[in-house]
Amino acid sequence: MKYFNFLKNKVISVPYNNDPCLIDKLNDFLVKPYPFSVYIYFAPNPMVVSAGRKFPNIQNYLNEDNLFDNKKFNKDLILTLKKAKKYGFKTNLLLNNVLLGLPLLNNDLKGTLPKIQNYLEKLNSKNLLDRVTISNPYLLELIDWEKLKNIEIKTSVNLQIKSSKSVSLINNISNFWLNRGIDCIEVQKDLLRDLKELKKIKKAINKNTKISIIVNEGCLIDCPYQMAHQLHAFSFKLTNRKTIDMEKSVFNIAKCKYITQQEPWRIFNSNWLLPLWLKHYEELVDEFKFTDRNSTTEEILYVIKAYTTGIYDKGNVCNLISLLKMEEFLFPECILPKTFFNDVIKKEMSDDYYKRIWEKLIVYNRKKNKEPRVGLKGLNKKDLNKFIKKS
């Protein structure tokens, strides 16, 4: 298999969706020698701490009473991590809940944090852990990293590193609490197409610190719902007595869909890149992270193939972008101007620029007997009000 040359010595970050078959299939798909390193990022046991979103493939870990099977999850995860290491992949545990590490009560310091520390040390003692991703800088102080000296530390996109000044400040606090630098920084998602700011960040980071970007999430740039969405997701957790299934919530938190339903052309002014565009980041970025953990194994492998080889269905880019996968319209790559990437990275384009592209999408879909529209989940405002009153 021929991989993109610009991926040489880079890292690709692959989501683990709690399907043990993913690791085998990924190993079968990647033809060695491949020019990049592979990190598998995974969520911890939800009985220890929430990882900030709906639990992928939870049905695999519910017992006959519909309760979370703690032992089965731990057993499967250990076997999966061992398999990943056997195949030469590296592992990355997500502590990316921004609410984690906020000791609102003294009991949090005595209860939750020791449980997390023990969990990290246990995985590390089995040589199953290469990296931990954190979203809250308090964890630089609250976790005893001296007992985890061989573990890399990565800052999550939720830490909001968005400028060279942010990098300077994170360098300051990491040197204070850790007496060393952060190993990898994931920049704020709205910087994805801001190559000018990425260049400034590249100059500001420590020599041994890597830069990571999320490539295919598709969040709206400057979306006002972004932080509220994240905090809402982080509030969901499992307990020993019950499970919470976010799919059953009548209040859907992906409110960006309400924006794009009214102004669908904004999907083009969002945080995603086409596979070939990664070549423009060769000198700026060390790691390309792909989403998301709620995707099927087949969807994850499709994305990895697309961004490492350039092989994908160019008749529908929606299949690459996490927040567009559920849409029923087709987004063919050919409707984008040939200068699209250069246009959007150099300056703020007018709304009319993106509207013209959406008009092309409409024409393309109608030729295919499709009527393009952005779909919504959850109750509309009228029905939600009725639900609240009824409750």
pLDDT in the model for residue 272? 97
pLDDT in the model for residue 241? 45
pLDDT in the model for residue 251? 60
371 within domain boundaries:
no
pLDDT in the model for residue 234? 66
Alpha-carbon Rg for the chain, nearest whole angstrom, is: 21
Mean pLDDT of 70-81: 93
Name which residue leads in pLDDT, 59 or 161. Answer: 161
The tokens describing 132, both together, are 């931990």
Indicate the pLDDT class of residue 247, thresholds 50, 70 and 90.
Answer: very low
Distance CA 163, CA 168 (A): 9
The dihedral through the CA atoms of 339, 340, 342, 348 has a sign that is: positive
Residue ranges with strand state E in the chain:
11-15, 37-42, 90-95, 131-134, 152-155, 184-186, 210-214, 287-289
pLDDT in the model for residue 61? 87
pLDDT in the model for residue 246? 40
Q: What percent of the chain has pLDDT over 70?
A: 88
Using one digit for the tens of pLDDT, what is the confidence trace for 166-210?
A: 999 998 999 899 888 899 999 999 999 999 999 999 999 988 899
Identify which of 337, 329, 339, 324 has the alpha carbon closest to the alpha carbon of residue 367.
Answer: 329
Q: By the 8 A CB rule, do 271 and 214 touch?
A: yes
- The yes-or-no verdict on residue 120 having pLDDT over 90 is yes
Using one digit for the tens of pLDDT, what is the confidence trace for 296-321?
A: 999 999 999 999 999 999 999 999 99
pLDDT in the model for residue 381? 65
Name which residue leads in pLDDT, 309 or 97. Answer: 309
Indicate the pLDDT class of residue 164, thresholds 50, 70 and 90.
Answer: very high
If you ran DSSP here, which 8-state letter would residue 21 be given?
H
pLDDT in the model for residue 53? 67
Distance CA 267, CA 352 (A): 13
- The yes-or-no verdict on residue 382 having pLDDT over 70 is no
363 within domain boundaries:
no
354 within domain boundaries:
no
Distance CA 173, CA 11 (A): 26
Q: What is the CATH number for 232?
A: 3.20.20
Domain count, the chain: 1
pLDDT in the model for residue 338? 95
Average pLDDT along the chain: 88
Using one digit for the tens of pLDDT, what is the confidence trace for 258-269?
A: 888 889 999 999
The tokens describing 174, both together, are 């990491």
Query: How many Å separate Cα 180 from the centre of its chain?
Result: 26
Residues in the chain: 391
Using one digit for the tens of pLDDT, what is the confidence trace for 333-344?
A: 999 999 999 999
pLDDT in the model for residue 383? 65
Range of the domain at 104: 5-256+272-313
Indicate the pLDDT class of residue 66, thresholds 50, 70 and 90.
Answer: confident
251 within domain boundaries:
yes
Mean pLDDT of 146-164: 93
42 within domain boundaries:
yes
Separation of first and last alpha carbons in the chain: 57
- The yes-or-no verdict on residue 329 having pLDDT over 70 is yes
Indicate the pLDDT class of residue 223, thresholds 50, 70 and 90.
Answer: confident
